[in-house]
Structure 1
Amino acid sequence: MKVTLAYGRNGLSVNVPSYSTVIEPTHLEPIENDHEAVLRALRNPRGTKPLRELVKSSDRVVIVISDITRPTPNQKLVPWILEELTHVPLENVTIINGLGTHRDQTREELCEMLGETIVDTVRIINHHCQEKSELTHLGTSSFGCEVYLNKEYVEADFRIVTGFIEPHFFAGFSGGPKGIMPGIAGIETILTFHNAKMIGHPLATWGILDNNPLQEMTREINTFCKPDFLLNVALNGEKEITQVFAGELAEAHGIGCSFVKQHAMHKCDQRYDVVITTNAGYPLDQNLYQAVKGMDAARMIVRQGGTIICAAECSDGMPAHGNFIKILEMRESPKKILEMIEDPSFQMFDQWEAQRLAMIQEWADVYLYSTLPDESAQIAKITPTKDIEQTLSELKGKYGSEMSIAVLPLGPLTIPYVEE
């Protein structure tokens, strides 16, 4: 049967055996009139007063957004927030692009994310986690690090954070407090959040909030300078808004996580020999670093010693910025990379993604269909493939003619799991 995988902007069709199990999130129709739905949420928020009543006309307002590697529809959300804040002069508003450790966005990318009108009329800054002059020290975390957040965020009179909620492979769910931590945190704080012990914790995984150390830390860091208002959304496979969550950070995010868990988590009765996955297409599959999420979703249901085939366009490369490539080049095997990262003396930003990739590779073989040159895939200890159907045919020699196959066309937008 033919299956369309979310790949880049246009998708990728592949033929798989008819007995393959295709796993997708429960399809939800987009919410009726998303503009009105968002305005209703801003006017009837959870756990706090309506947004307009909370903000004075003299307030310096910051709106924290997620960067271009996330599909948050900020081209809609930000103008609609400003529609509620017409009493605030635009010169009093700053949008902070929550890059975490990622690269700056170009003007063209910001226009894609926010619309040209917003880019031309509202001040926008890219967060720089390593620039001490752009950070404020707020104290010491119980997790053993100093807490630094973006200075303009801390000094603002009113703080709004946006985002979208999906299962997350470290923190249980995205959105909510993650917009601030690691979105606009300092590098020292981010490194602790992503250290080997945290990433390797058995409860630091998809769909788990309680006793998940990363979720506990992001919540704690938010208490040092809490956002005054949250606006998060849920999205379907077409990246359309299916529900809106607004108000007090913890209450609104908790309701959102419960909603998403109902529709995005899928219980399976067995593990599979082969799992074909994606990273949900553009903008999520822009680079291999991000595509690790789709591989990790597949890891949830592939058997030990099985095979993961990931289709991710990687139009932005590995990427070239950051330390991901450097770390992958430092050792000759996933096992050696894990040993290096788990050494308490080792600390380098981006190690968390290399660690998770190595954990996946220690569990299963990984193939990659992408636009990356073969050498790039090989640096990552991944086997490149130019033909998924041919790779499936070759794998029959390993697993037999009736090898079990699962397909995740939307990658980490569906999180399958097996109760064991």
Structure 2
Amino acid sequence: METSVLYGKGSVAIEVPNDAVIVEPKHQPSVPDEKFEILRALRNPVGSPPLGESVKATDRVAIVISDITRPTPNHKLVPWLIEELPHVPRENFVIINGTGTHRDQTREEFVTMLGEEIVDRYRVINHHCHEEAELSHVGTSRFGCEVLLNKAYVEADFRIVTGFIEPHFFAGFSGGPKGIMPGIAGIDTIMTFHNARMIGDPLATWGNMEGNPVQEMSREVNRMCPPHFLLNVALNRDKEITQAFAGQWETAHKQGCEYVKTHAMIQCDRRFDVVVTSNSGYPLDQNLYQAVKGMSAAQKIVKEGGTIICAAECSDGLPSHGNYAKILEMRATPQEILDMIKDPSFRMFDQWQVQKQAVIQVWADVFVYSSLPEEDIRRAKFSATSNISDTLQRLRMKYGDGMSVAVMPQGPLTIPYVEET
């Protein structure tokens, strides 16, 4: 039968066995009026007064947004937030792009993300995790590091964090406190947050918030310099808003996670020989670094020794910034890379993504369908495929006529799981 998986700004059609199992979230329709839904949330928040009543005219207001690798509809959320604060002068706002360790966005990208009017009329800045002069010390984490956050955020009188809630492969769910930690944290703080012990903890996984050290550190850091107000949204396959959550950051985020979990977690009755996944399409599949999330979701239901095929356009390359590609070339095999990263003396940013990737590659073979040169895919220790349907046919030689196949069209927007004894 023919089906498709998200890829770039569209999808790619594939031919799969007739008995292939399609694994994707329960569809949630978009709200009839997105602006009405956002204003409802801002004016009836959980655990806090309405936004408009919370901010004084003299307040310096910081709004933290997700960077371009996330599908958060910043071009809607930010203007609607600002509309709720007409008494605050334009010059009192700063919009902080929560890049974490990712690259800066260009002006053109900011226009795409926020709209030209916001970019032209308001101060919009990229967060720089390596620039100490742009950071402020806010405390010491029980996880063993000093905590530094973006200075413009720390010095604001009223702090707002926005975001998009989806399943996350080691934080449980995205959104909420992750907008601050690691979104606008200093590099040393991020390195502790993403160290091998934290990432390797069995509780640091999809959909789990309790006892998850990554989520616990994110919450701890937020409490040191908390956002005064949170606005998060849930999206469907078409990147449309299905619900908004606003108010006190912990309470509102918990409410949002519970909502997403009810339709994103899908139980499967068995593991599969082959799992075909996407990385949710654009913007999450802009580079191979991010595509590890789709592979990680697929690993939840692929057999040990099985095969994952991941479709991710990777229009932004491996990427070229950061240490992702460099770390992958430091050892010959995924197991050797994993052993290197687990050595307490090893410390290099981006190691967390490579660690997750190596765990997947030790468990299963991974093919990548993308716009990348085949050489780049091999550098990352993956196999390349130019035709997913043909690759499935060849894999039948390996697994036999009874080869079991699952397809995850929306990739990491789904949390598949198998109850194993």
Query: Could you say which residue in structure 2 is the equivalent of 1:331?
Result: 331
Query: Could you say which residue in structure 2 is the equivalent of 1:276?
Result: 276
Give the AA of the match of 1:11. S
1:94-243 matches, cutoff 5 A: 94-243=94-243
Q: Give the fraction of aligned pairs with identical amino acids, expressed as a percent.
A: 66
Query: Could you say which residue in structure 2 is the equivalent of 1:369?
Result: 369
Distance in structure 2 (CA, Å) of the matches to 1:112 and 1:105:
10
Query: In the TM superposition, what is the alpha-carbon distance from 1:2 to its structure 2 partner?
Result: 1.1
CA displacement, residues 293-332 of structure 1 (integer Å, 9 cap, x when unaligned) = 0000000000000000000000000000000000001111
Distance in structure 2 (CA, Å) of the matches to 1:90 and 1:51:
17
Query: In the TM superposition, what is the alpha-carbon distance from 1:32 to its structure 2 partner?
Result: 1.6
Distance in structure 2 (CA, Å) of the matches to 1:68 and 1:78:
14
Query: In the TM superposition, what is the alpha-carbon distance from 1:415 to its structure 2 partner?
Result: 1.2
SS of equivalent to 1:292 = helix
Give the AA of the match of 1:230. L
Query: Could you say which residue in structure 1 is the equivalent of 2:43?
Result: 43
**What are structure 1's unaligned runs of at least 5 residues?**
none
Query: Could you say which residue in structure 2 is the equivalent of 1:252?
Result: 252
The reply on whether 1:299 has 2:294 as its aligned counterpart is no
Query: In the TM superposition, what is the alpha-carbon distance from 1:24 to its structure 2 partner?
Result: 1.2
Query: Could you say which residue in structure 1 is the equivalent of 2:383?
Result: 383
Give the AA of the match of 2:88. V
SS of equivalent to 1:210 = coil
Distance in structure 2 (CA, Å) of the matches to 1:23 and 1:202:
23
Distance in structure 1 (CA, Å) of the matches to 2:417 and 2:118:
41
Deviates more, 1:310-319 or 1:106-115: 106-115
Query: Could you say which residue in structure 1 is the equivalent of 2:69?
Result: 69
Query: In the TM superposition, what is the alpha-carbon distance from 1:10 to its structure 2 partner?
Result: 1.9
Distance in structure 1 (CA, Å) of the matches to 2:46 and 2:306:
45
Query: In the TM superposition, what is the alpha-carbon distance from 1:7 to its structure 2 partner?
Result: 0.1
Give the AA of the match of 1:66. S
Query: In the TM superposition, what is the alpha-carbon distance from 1:138 to its structure 2 partner?
Result: 1.4
Distance in structure 1 (CA, Å) of the matches to 2:359 and 2:400:
26
Distance in structure 1 (CA, Å) of the matches to 2:15 and 2:115:
38
Distance in structure 2 (CA, Å) of the matches to 1:55 and 1:35:
20
Query: In the TM superposition, what is the alpha-carbon distance from 1:402 to its structure 2 partner?
Result: 1.7
Distance in structure 2 (CA, Å) of the matches to 1:405 and 1:222:
42
Query: Could you say which residue in structure 2 is the equivalent of 1:286?
Result: 286
Distance in structure 1 (CA, Å) of the matches to 2:377 and 2:160:
39
Give the AA of the match of 2:55. V
SS of equivalent to 2:95 = strand
Query: In the TM superposition, what is the alpha-carbon distance from 1:394 to its structure 2 partner?
Result: 0.7
Give the AA of the match of 1:104. D
TM-score normalised by L of structure 1: 0.99
SS of equivalent to 2:307 = strand
Distance in structure 1 (CA, Å) of the matches to 2:2 and 2:55:
52
CA displacement, residues 93-144 of structure 1 (integer Å, 9 cap, x when unaligned) = 0000000000000111111111111111110000000000000011210000
Query: Could you say which residue in structure 1 is the equivalent of 2:87?
Result: 87
Distance in structure 1 (CA, Å) of the matches to 2:256 and 2:328:
36
Give the AA of the match of 2:65. I
Query: In the TM superposition, what is the alpha-carbon distance from 1:63 to its structure 2 partner?
Result: 0.1
The reply on whether 1:310 has 2:273 as its aligned counterpart is no
CA displacement, residues 360-418 of structure 1 (integer Å, 9 cap, x when unaligned) = 00100000000111111111110001111111111011100120000000100111001
Distance in structure 1 (CA, Å) of the matches to 2:2 and 2:389:
11
Give the AA of the match of 2:185. A
Distance in structure 2 (CA, Å) of the matches to 1:116 and 1:139:
37
Q: Runs of 4+ in structure 1 displaced over 4 angstroms?
A: none
Distance in structure 2 (CA, Å) of the matches to 1:14 and 1:125:
41
**What are structure 2's unaligned runs of at least 5 residues?**
none
Give the AA of the match of 2:15. N
Distance in structure 1 (CA, Å) of the matches to 2:37 and 2:383:
45
Give the aligned length. Answer: 420
SS of equivalent to 1:6 = strand
Aligned-pair Cα RMSD in Å: 0.5
Distance in structure 2 (CA, Å) of the matches to 1:33 and 1:84:
17
Distance in structure 2 (CA, Å) of the matches to 1:401 and 1:84:
60
TM-score normalised by L of structure 2: 0.99
Query: Could you say which residue in structure 2 is the equivalent of 1:262?
Result: 262
Distance in structure 2 (CA, Å) of the matches to 1:145 and 1:376:
35
